[in-house]
Amino acid sequence: MLVGQAPGKVEAEGGKPFAGRAGKTLFRWLERAGIDESSARENIYIAAVTRCYPGPHPGGRGDRVPSRSEREQCGDWLQSELEIIKPKLLIPVGRLAIEQFLLPLSLDKLIGQAHTVTHAGGTSRVIPLPHPSGASSWVHQQGNMLLVERALHLIQQEWEALRLNPPRKSSAA
């Protein structure tokens, strides 16, 4: 299960998650983990912290981060999805999604690590990724792309393990 922040403008207009520029970057990353875009879209349930496009960022760069109120209003959706999907692997993308499952630590303490968490749907391995948006500068800071590569390697290992030992019908990636 992949969890993003919120639909962007392109996603809101087209109804397809991660269809814009950030999505292209995300799927290039996943391809480096051995998961091409069509395979990812077919086999990975894609969710978001919020359901609605929050609008453009007031500064004009990227999308506005959903407010606490917007996140709370949509929180039941994500909890229900976790209960239904029962994911064995969770890939939160971006700080907002990561903080739904992990402590609010700096990204360099979280990215490149595998975590185990218990949530409404059971227990999952959580391998966070930074937000792939061009508005995010974290990836371009020294050493951080190495952490992304480490995370992609962990995702590849988990993905291969799930393919060799598929979960019962009620569970998914």
CATH number of this structure's domain 2-164:
3.40.470.10
| Amino acid 153: pLDDT | 99
| Amino acid 168: pLDDT | 66
Q: Does residue 163 have a pLDDT over 90?
A: no
Quick one: DSSP state of residue 125? E
The domains of the chain are located at 2-164
pLDDT in tens, 142-161: 999 999 999 999 999 999 99
Q: Which amino acid is at 12?
A: A
Element (H, E) at 111: none
More confident residue, 57 or 172: 57
List Cα–Cα distances, 33 to 100, 121, 156, in angstroms: 23, 25, 5
CB 84 within 8 A of CB 122: no
Q: What are phi and psi of 142, to 5 degrees?
A: -50, 130
Nearest to 6 by CA among 88, 91, 74: 74
| Amino acid 156: pLDDT | 98
State the average pLDDT over residues 23-44. Answer: 97
State the average pLDDT over residues 115-141. Answer: 93
85: Cα within 13 Å, side-chain hemisphere: 22
- Phi/psi region, residue 85 (left: phi>0; alpha: psi -120 to 50; beta: rest), is alpha
Say how far apart CA 126 and CA 153 lie, in whole Å: 13
